[in-house]
Copies of this chain bind each other. A is one copy, B any other.
Amino acid sequence: MIDGREKKGMKTKKALLNATITLIAEHGLEALSASSIAKKVNVSKASVFHHFDSMETIQQEAFIFAVVLMHEALEQIYQEAKETDSFADIMLKCFLFFMEENNKHYLNLINVQMQFVVKSSYDAEFEELIYGKESEKTPFDFFETLVDDFYGDKLDAKDLELVNDLLATYLSGFATFFISMANKEWLISLWKENIKMIEIYIQSLIEG
């Protein structure tokens, strides 16, 4: 049973992780410190280390938290749309969600993940810290489910994997433009074209 104190503790922990994500996205991973997180949540530095063993743990848990938040958001969009919408419509809805002014925190999640990818490329210890501990779900898993639900009975396993791998790559490409604050309208029209391209490709796999 979760008592009041435990509940409050979880709320603080969540606030600390959200603050960590905002700080990384706004000032960069290198500028992150326990003091800056404490200040943002308006708690003491000791409170930060009450919830996390070390700065390493904070980064590790923030990564997993970011992945889970993203997955949950996508999953909710999907659950609300799956009965009525086409594959293309759902793909578009997912994209638009991250573009909305109100969902800046979700855009920050992408930024944080890109920073983690880049830092991992030259820091093997950091890579082990972040990617060594597997998260249960990733945003890529979500798109795998989406493709599988719509095309699982039309494509064989090898082709499904190809589509998923290509999609993962393209998502990373769009993520780069997301964080570069590229022109929104351009990005949306390009994403629409990307969906079209994928559908044409899937059709060629089905026929071929």
Q: Which residues of A contact B (CB under 8 A)?
A: 25-28, 30, 111, 114-115, 117-123, 162, 165-166, 169-177, 179-181, 186, 190, 193-194, 196-198, 200-201, 204
Contact = CB atoms under 8 A, between A and B. Distances in A.
Pairs A-B, 7 closest by C-beta atoms: A173-B173, A172-B176, A169-B173, A172-B173, A121-B179, A30-B30, A197-B201
B121 A180 contact: yes
A110 to B, nearest CB: 10
A183 to B, nearest CB: 11
A201 B121 CA distance: 32
Contacts of A177: 169, 172
Contacts of A198: 197
B179 A166 contact: no
Contacts of A174: 169, 173
